[in-house]
Amino acid sequence: MKNFLGIFTLTALLLGFQLNSYAAEKVEYLKTDWSFKGLFGKFDRAALQRGYQVYTEVCSSCHSMKYLSYRNLAEKGGPEFSEAQAKAIAASFEVKDGPNADGDMFTRPGKLSDKFVMPYENVKAAQAANGGAYPPDMSVLVKARGGGVDYIYSLLQGYEDPPAGVKLDEGVYYNKYMYGNKIKMSNQLSDGLVEYGDGTNATVEQMSKDVTTFLMWAAEPHLESRHRMGFKAIVYLIILTILVYFSMKRIWSRIETKV
């Protein structure tokens, strides 16, 4: 019994130490108003289209989105580009296809049915081009990281000079929102880096919000339909509850109370 109590006490102390250490290291993420949050949340179409532009012009040179097809850009609930726009976007990329009748591989303009073009042929090529680090696929990145959209949004704006006494290896950068504060991706955003077609001022904050919104849609393309379904379910349950209440009240009204 004494041994058990000793082991229990030691385990509790170790867990308490780990929790306190985690709490001390935890950084509060930047906050912003997300249009898709809440029961009636919807994606901002303009933000999704701007976010796709940021991904294409800034992120796609290293990060893939292998679960998205170009046709998704025109589907309801997403960026909702017109079909003609989506076709033009797809056609602007060269897709490797084949073999042809001669047994050779060839390149052709992309089609709506094609997946987003990968920046590298394989994982090894990606690692070789990025100092041994593999740029993660962005298709479901929002769901794969603790903190979700707030983490991605903060990370993109979290680059700063390292504190005194902190030494970084070559090719490593300091980011106060990154786990361990060290990241191999350099700061990719700067004010005015892209030119938005709708005239929106492309600040680092705006681009971070737009591309994070796009990544949220990529990870949850049916979010709006789920919100609508959830609202209908709540209304149904409210009506059902009211009907059950009045039905029970009517049934019990027929029973005489014994004195």
The rounded distance, in Å, linking the Cα atoms of 235 and 113 is 38
Place of tokens 């073009």: 117
In a domain, 241, yes or no: no
How far the first Cα of the chain sits from its last, in Å, is 58
Burial class (CB within 10 angstroms; exposed 0-12, middle 13-18, buried 19+) of 154: buried
Burial class (CB within 10 angstroms; exposed 0-12, middle 13-18, buried 19+) of 220: middle
In a domain, 249, yes or no: no
Token readout for 111 is 């089609």
pLDDT of residue 82 exceeding 90, the answer is yes
In a domain, 246, yes or no: no
Q: In the prediction, which pLDDT does 258 show?
A: 59
* DSSP notation for 15-72: HHHHHHHHHHH--PPP----TT-STT----HHHHHHHHHHIIIIITTT---TT-BGGG
The rounded distance, in Å, linking the Cα atoms of 120 and 124 is 9
In a domain, 110, yes or no: yes
In a domain, 63, yes or no: yes
Angle (CA) 190 91 121, round 5°: 70
Contact in structure between 49 and 199 (CB atoms under 8 Å): no
Query: How many independent structural domains does the chain possess?
Result: 1
In a domain, 28, yes or no: no
**Who's near 130: CB < 8 A, 6+ residues apart?**
62, 184
Place of tokens 């504060």: 181
Place of tokens 């006494």: 165
Confidence tier at 232 by pLDDT (50, 70, 90): low
Burial class (CB within 10 angstroms; exposed 0-12, middle 13-18, buried 19+) of 188: middle
**Residue 109 backbone dihedrals phi, psi, to 5 degrees:** -65, 145
Looking up residue 201, the CATH number of its domain turns out to be: 1.10.760.10
Q: Does 40 or 51 have the greater pLDDT score?
A: 51
Q: In the prediction, which pLDDT does 94 show?
A: 94
In a domain, 96, yes or no: yes
pLDDT of residue 1 exceeding 60, the answer is no
Contact in structure between 67 and 142 (CB atoms under 8 Å): no
Length, in residues, of the chain: 259
Helix axes 148-155, 204-219, angle to 10 degrees: 150
Residue type, 79: P
Place of tokens 């079909």: 83
pLDDT of residue 46 exceeding 60, the answer is yes
**Domain around 202:** 34-222
The rounded distance, in Å, linking the Cα atoms of 61 and 139 is 15
Q: For the whole prediction, is pTM greater than 0.85? A: no
Q: What is the pLDDT of residues 20-36, one digit of tens each?
A: 434 335 679 999 999 99
In the chain, the percentage of residues whose pLDDT exceeds 70 is 85
In a domain, 168, yes or no: yes
Q: In the prediction, which pLDDT does 100 show?
A: 87
Token readout for 87 is 């076709």
Confidence tier at 133 by pLDDT (50, 70, 90): confident
For range 163-186, the mean pLDDT: 92
